Amino acid sequence: MEKVAKCMCGQFRSVVNGELRSVAMCHCLAFKRRSGSAFAYNAFYQTSDVRLERTYKIHQGEGQQRHEIERHFCPEFGTTVYSRTAKFPGICNIPASALADPTFPTPLVSLFEESNHAWFVPPPGIEHCVRGPAPGAVRPDADQCRDANT
């Protein structure tokens, strides 16, 4: 089933025709700044399953673990609708909020909880990572999450 993520004005779109790989909430500082919220709610897909439509700009920067992130955003309102990183080749990130689907799945994992707000309470039953997932893991298993001592 086709899913469409849109920027605020609707001009820039990420059109998804593929299976959802993972859903995560991320408390890293880069995603907080990108989302303007206490955490980001991200959907992960194969890059080959996503097509970008219309005009956008690209920002390249670093994530919390110093890996390069490429964000595609609306030049009018600045809404990020697609991003990718070399850390996860072949995988892209679509902000779940840009899909505007209130039935979208609950996150499977909460990442970078070392940076979460003290009042944050995660959904029950999800995995917790103090930092990010182990390299190469899109949806880390509990033993792949890095703890505070790594």
> What would the pLDDT profile of 1-57 be if each residue is shown by its tens digit?
899 999 999 999 999 999 999 999 999 888 888 788 999 999 999 999 999 999 999
pLDDT at 86: 83
pLDDT at 107: 95
DSSP conformational letter for 38: S
Amino acid identity of residue 70, one-letter, is E
pTM above 0.75, yes or no: yes
Q: Order across the sheet with 50-53: list the strands.
A: 3-6, 13-16, 50-53
The sign of the dihedral angle between the CA atoms of 102, 106, 109, 115 is positive
pLDDT at 14: 98
Taking alpha carbons only, the member of 75, 81, 84 closest to residue 47 is 84
Task: Kindly state the tokens that stand for 14.
Answer: 């990420």
Scan for tokens 């609950």, then name that residue.
106
Q: Is the pLDDT of residue 131 over 60?
A: yes
